[in-house]
């Protein structure tokens, strides 16, 4: 295979892996392709935790298993080398005697971290590492951030007017939509792809949000609420029992019917404490949809990886100023009259 062909097949691995976005936690997104005589004869992806990995799904999809010995396996992430909920993929690859294995990027977790590559190389197969490595790492930015930085991948999200206001100020008690219906659907799609969503007490009290994926078909994220004195009424939407909710407060630690309270120290910076709790709970990603104060706290603490800003053509006289944020715009798109900007924190790039 030429390098160009290797990249073509690795691109296909990445596209396959994206089918598992939002469903594989705590496992990574992985896609695999099997090529014989310059043709794809099998492909697969990891669908959800506890089920077969991408390599096994790709192998199972091949009609003529006798071709595997003369085939090349492409996989976006290093094959696992340990027994978990499923047997090690590296051992299956060795058993089937693939002649060549092409890997996008290594798995940095302690149970793998080069061990899968070592096993396969020791079997006599040719192993190539680093094809589209940057793209493969981007695919698993949540998984890698969690394991390398010991915290969730953090996405800040807000909507603002043309003159950088997040609401209409004194009139905020009345509904004021900056996002159009199609942008709202986009937001709910994004929620379905992340593991949790966070707001502060003021947002909960003023907006009474549900924080669900209600306009699309998708899994609801775990809800996170910062409420120092537990002022949010239990009748509010954030406390309905449809979804697990975490409440960070200064009063108590307890659990009751899906509502989990975590006592933290508000006399010091609360964000490292929250990050530690979420890491211990295997939460790999957060969307922060709070008000300006909450968002700016994350920004000032350099605890963010991406920002998604929805901008409208509306101008309001009063209102809360949107957060101050500096980063690299990686993509922009119009959805109706809304411009959605995707911004990357350069210092957070893996």
In the structure encoding, which two tokens stand for residue 295, read together? 């968002």
**55 carries an active-site annotation:** yes
Q: Which of 55, 78, 194, 306 is catalytic?
A: 55
- How far is residue 101's CA from residue 73's CA, in Å, rounded to a whole number? 5
- How far is residue 315's CA from residue 160's CA, in Å, rounded to a whole number? 9
Strand, coil or helix: 32: strand
153 beta partners: 285
Task: Name the DSSP letter for residue 165.
Answer: B
Sequence-distant (6+) residues with CB within 8 A of 251 are 229, 230, 261, 263
Sequence-distant (6+) residues with CB within 8 A of 66 are none
Are 152 and 194 in contact by the 8 Å Cβ rule? The answer is: no
- How far is residue 247's CA from residue 262's CA, in Å, rounded to a whole number? 6
Sequence-distant (6+) residues with CB within 8 A of 28 are 46, 77, 107, 140, 143
- How far is residue 283's CA from residue 197's CA, in Å, rounded to a whole number? 11
Strand, coil or helix: 223: strand
CA distances from 146 to 21, 153, 223, 233 (A): 16, 7, 18, 33
Are 101 and 123 in contact by the 8 Å Cβ rule? The answer is: no
Please give the positions annotated as active site.
55
């Amino acid at each position: 295979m030429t390098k160009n062909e290797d990249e073509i097949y690795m691109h296909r691995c990445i596209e396959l892996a994206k089918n598992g976005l939002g469903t594989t936690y705590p496992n990574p997104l992985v896609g695999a392709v099997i090529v014989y005589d310059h043709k794809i004869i099998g492909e697969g992806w990891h669908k959800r935790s506890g089920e077969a990995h991408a390599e096994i799904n790709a192998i199972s999809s091949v009609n003529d298993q006798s071709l595997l010995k003369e085939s090349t396996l492409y996989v976006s992430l290093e094959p696992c080398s340990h027994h978990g909920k499923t047997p090690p993929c590296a051992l299956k690859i060795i058993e089937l005697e693939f002649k060549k294995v092409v890997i996008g990027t290594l798995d940095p977790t302690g149970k793998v971290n080069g061990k899968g590559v070592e096993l396969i190389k020791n079997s006599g197969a040719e192993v190539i590492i680093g094809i589209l490595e940057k793209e493969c790492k981007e695919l698993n930015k949540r998984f890698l951030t969690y394991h390398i930085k010991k915290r969730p991948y953090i996405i800040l999200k807000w909507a603002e007017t043309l003159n950088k206001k997040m609401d209409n100020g004194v009139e905020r008690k009345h509904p004021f939509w900056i996002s159009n219906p199609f942008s709202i659907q986009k937001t709910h799609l994004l929620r379905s792809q992340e593991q949790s969503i966070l707001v502060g007490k003021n947002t909960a009290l003023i907006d009474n949000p549900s924080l669900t994926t209600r306009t699309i078909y998708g899994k609801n994220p775990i809800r996170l609420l910062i409420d120092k004195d537990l002022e949010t009424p239990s009748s509010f939407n954030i406390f309905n029992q449809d979804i697990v909710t975490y409440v960070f407060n200064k009063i108590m630690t307890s659990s009751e019917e899906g509502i989990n309270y975590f006592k933290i120290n508000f006399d010091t910076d609360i964000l490292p404490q929250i990050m530690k709790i979420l890491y211990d709970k295997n939460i790999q990603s957060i969307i922060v949809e709070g008000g300006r104060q909450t968002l700016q706290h994350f920004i000032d603490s350099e605890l963010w990886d991406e920002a998604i800003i929805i901008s409208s053509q509306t101008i309001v006289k009063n209102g809360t100023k949107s957060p101050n944020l500096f980063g690299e715009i990686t993509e922009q798109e119009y959805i109706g009259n809304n411009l959605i900007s995707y911004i990357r924190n350069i210092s957070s790039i893996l």
